[in-house]
Amino acid sequence: MIGRRYPAAMLIVSGVALAGLLAAQEPTAPLPPAATGEVRAAAPAAAMRWTDPDGKPLPFRSEDELLDFLRTAEVKSEKHLSTGVNFPTKLLLEKDGIRVDAVFRDVNEEKSAPTFGGGRNDLYFRDSYIFEPPAYELSRLLGLDNVPPATLRRLHTQNGSVQIWVEHAMTELTRIKDKIKPPDELRWNKQLQVMNVFDALIYNTDRNRGNILITPDWKLWMIDHTRAFRRTPSLQNAAALNQCERGMYQRLKALNEALVRERLKPYLSSFEMDALFTRRKLILERLDTLIAERGEEKVLYAETVPAPPAN
């Protein structure tokens, strides 16, 4: 499922700014119960259960196997999507009898200083498929499991990125429109905080309700990172960063810069990488200041993981 990208002057907002909107209370109308429980953010990638278009679990033993499939499987069908301004393509991939839905993006625009309205300029603006794989790779290095696997591939003569399709998901836009309330608001808000910190780290300027997905187990998925990884060595809204999942905080602190640079080198420039690590430093300084002022228990929290359903 692909979220709609709205006109820049209307809905290009940072993840931290969006959190207040997403926390609004609506009447309860929960989705059907999930088939499986949610794994922790730090769980091994191989623990994820992806499904084919018919809902059957895929046989991949790791996400590395899934990435290889996305790069090499035959394209059996293509469907151009009408959502968003860049019109991605939904693919049906097949290899060795395995069928997987995926999305292909080939947007690749760069401008020196476009104006987004309201006097806001975005220097060195880039809107590119190249940022999808590093968003996924960085999420793995941080122990997160809520950015769908993405890699590079060609479709016909066009370079682009391909990402597994999140089956049976609704957008946050649909949730708000249909007034569906999360069954566990505390867990939902904790997932939003993880998204806020991640978006601040990668300087995502295009988080909106159309590119937040929700699966039936109420797991939040982050998609569409083509407008991330700015060269900007600052935070979009530092004051909105008030909490962080404890494991994510610890992994941010322990993040191996040399490893990250090596892993993301195929996708990011040295300027984009330098800005990323400057923002990491600023996020940690912000959180450490809050911990000193308010106490660790008010700033860091443990992720709430639902119990597995009864057999």
Distance separating alpha carbons of residues 225 and 130, to the nearest angstrom: 9
The answer as to whether 212 is a domain residue is: yes
CATH code at position 280:
1.10.510
**Residue-by-residue pLDDT tens, the chain, 311 positions:** 444 343 333 333 333 334 433 333 333 333 333 333 333 333 344 435 799 999 999 999 999 999 999 999 999 999 999 876 678 999 999 999 999 999 999 999 998 765 554 445 567 789 999 999 999 999 999 999 999 999 999 999 999 999 999 999 999 999 999 999 999 999 999 999 999 999 999 999 999 999 999 999 999 999 999 999 999 999 999 998 999 999 999 999 999 999 999 999 999 999 999 999 999 999 999 999 999 999 999 999 997 555 444 44
What is the largest distance, in Å, between two alpha-carbon atoms of the chain?
57
Residues 299 and 34: their CA atoms lie apart, in Å, by: 30
pLDDT at 306: 52
Domain total of the chain: 1
Q: Is residue 309 part of a domain?
A: no
Q: How many residues does the chain have?
A: 311
Look at residue 29 and tell me if it is in a domain.
no
Please give the structure tokens belonging to residue 260.
Answer: 């990250």
311 domain residue, yes or no: no
pLDDT for residue 304? 58
User: Looking at the domain assignment, is residue 30 inside a domain?
Assistant: no
Q: Is residue 88 part of a domain?
A: yes
In 3D, which of 199, 211, 210 has the Cα closest to residue 237?
Answer: 199
> Is residue 66 assigned to a domain?
yes
Q: Residue 168 belongs to what domain range?
A: 8-24+36-301
Write down the pTM of the prediction: 0.82
Give domain status of residue 31, yes or no: no
In 3D space, the residue among 12, 235, 261, 229 whose CA is nearest the CA of residue 135 turns out to be 229
At 87 the pLDDT is 85
What DSSP assignment string belongs to the chain? --PPPPPHHHH-B-HHHHHHHHT----B-PPPPPSSPPPPTTS-GGG---B-TTSPBP--SSHHHHHHHHHHSEEEEEEE--SSSS--EEEEEEETTEEEEEEEE--EEEESS-B-STT-B-TTEEEEGGGHHHHHHHHHHTT---S--EEEEEETTEEEEEEE--TT-EEHHHHHHTTPBPS-HHHHHHHHHHHHHHHHHHT-S-B-GGGEEE-TT--EEE---TT---S--S-S-GGG---EEHHHHHHHHH--HHHHHHHHTTT--HHHHHHHHHHHHHHHHHHHHHHHHH-HHHHEEPPP-PPPPP-
